[in-house]
Amino acid sequence: MKPPAHTPHPSRSAAHLLPQGQKGTPRRAVLLSGLALAACGRASVQAAPAAAPLKALVPAPVGVAVMRGQLEDTAWTTLARREISQLTPEWEMKMEYILAQDGGWRFDAPDRIATFARASGMRLHGHALIWYSQGQDWFEAIKPARRAAAFDDYIAVVAGRYRGQLAGWDVVNEAVAEDGDGLRSCHWSAQFGQDGYIARAFAQTRAADPDAVLFLNDYNLENLPRKGATFLRLVERLLAAGAPITGIGTQGHLDIDIPAGQITAFMRDAAAFGLPIHVSELDAPMGAGLLDRARRDARRALQTARVMEYAEAFAALPERQRYAFTLWGLRDGDSFVNRQGGGDSPLAFDDAGRPTALHQALVQGFSAPATVRKERG
């Protein structure tokens, strides 16, 4: 995972499809309710219950990032069961967790999350097998002649353990350079080449879990058009080489200051591949220094506009390309942004489980008539 450049970096330590025909309050009623709440001011928005669960409003599974400790929080689990239909382990399915410091394998936390998802009728999305940020000490301690086998074995063990339990995997996370100027150099690329390690990871994951949707996942793709273009060229190149990429993951850590239309443009370009698209880690921080009410209101207006655009752009995709729409945290206090100091409102619910202004932006964006979405796209 990775936020926009202006937000703090998150702490490093920190299978069953639901029916697509969802029932609930008609979209027009949800929209009118959301507009009425918004007109009453922020306090009224937060105090009022959601008109309908997000999972009944969004035309795709609605996901959220989760850590094992949250499963012991009754308030979190109650809210998640009401609103959410897919879970992504935030950290505890990454290599840094699974490869324990003593050299063993740790699956207690991801197994617990998988069990909760299954018991709650939720899909599970795997995050993430290969990431430039993790595994260097382990990998470089292996003799060069054994590294290819070790790389393959890691994927076989982890993806194989959850075979048939996951809807999809983030196979390679954040392969594109920070500024979009080419690809990252890392321990994986030093061994197999910049395209080579990615292609190898996808081939090994396909062998380990043949039915999962396999994603190349990255961040700032909407925020930085140069990076988005580099990412899409990478997808095109890998597909041409035969890599089994079957999904595009765009994290969606939004810089709310980007120009209107930039999100829609990236989504349109990404959709041209015909692959499922996962908005995989959405949040929209307003930024520090928001004690002044006028500044807070201005930042909230930007947040609302960008989140509405994102919801409309995703809803405008063909149904078969709407894999899931995932929030990177359920309540504001769950966000890595607020772990660094607090005070922001980047998510759909406040700490008491009440809908935020961002929630209402999602309601309005997903409730926009198809003709409006088409015109804006």
Asked if residue 164 is part of any domain, the answer here is: yes
| 345: pLDDT strictly greater than 70 | yes
Please tell me the distance from the alpha carbon of residue 283 to that of residue 314, in angstroms, as a whole number. 15
Residue 269: C-alpha distances to residues 171, 230, 305, 309 (Å): 21, 12, 21, 15
User: What was the pLDDT predicted at 142?
Assistant: 96
Helix then strand then coil, in percent of the chain rounded to 5, is: 45, 15, 40
**In total, how many domains does the chain have?**
1
- Taking alpha carbons only, the member of 275, 353, 279, 342 closest to residue 309 is 279
| 370: pLDDT strictly greater than 70 | no
Q: What is the mean pLDDT of residues 203-229?
A: 98
Query: How confident is residue 103, by pLDDT bands cut at 50, 70 and 90?
Result: confident
User: What was the pLDDT predicted at 36?
Assistant: 34
Asked if residue 25 is part of any domain, the answer here is: no
Asked if residue 351 is part of any domain, the answer here is: no
* Strand, helix or coil for residue 259: coil
Asked if residue 3 is part of any domain, the answer here is: no
State both tokens at 196.
């080579």
CA angle 299, 300, 304 (to 5 degrees): 120
Query: How confident is residue 292, by pLDDT bands cut at 50, 70 and 90?
Result: confident
What pLDDT, in 10s, does the model give residues 112-142?
Answer: 999 999 999 999 999 999 999 999 999 999 9
Tell me, what CATH number does 81's domain have? 3.20.20.80
User: What was the pLDDT predicted at 290?
Assistant: 63
User: What was the pLDDT predicted at 348?
Assistant: 98
User: What was the pLDDT predicted at 9?
Assistant: 36
* Strand, helix or coil for residue 218: strand
Which pTM was predicted?
A: 0.86
C-beta of residue 94 within 8 angstroms of C-beta of residue 217? no
User: What was the pLDDT predicted at 10?
Assistant: 40
Asked if residue 152 is part of any domain, the answer here is: yes
State both tokens at 24.
């609930």
How much of the chain, in percent, has pLDDT values that exceed 70? 83
Q: What is the mean pLDDT of residues 279-293?
A: 86
What pLDDT, in 10s, does the model give residues 185-204?
Answer: 999 999 999 999 999 999 99
Q: Which domain holds residue 218?
A: 61-297+309-345+368-376
Asked if residue 20 is part of any domain, the answer here is: no
Mean of pLDDT over the chain: 87
DSSP notation for 267-280: HHHHHTT---EEEE
Asked if residue 279 is part of any domain, the answer here is: yes
> Looking at the annotation, which residues are catalytic?
174, 281
Asked if residue 103 is part of any domain, the answer here is: yes
What pLDDT, in 10s, does the model give residues 17-67?
Answer: 232 333 333 332 333 333 333 333 333 333 344 469 999 999 999 999 999
Bigger pLDDT: 143 or 14?
Answer: 143
User: What was the pLDDT predicted at 101?
Assistant: 82
User: What was the pLDDT predicted at 375?
Assistant: 54
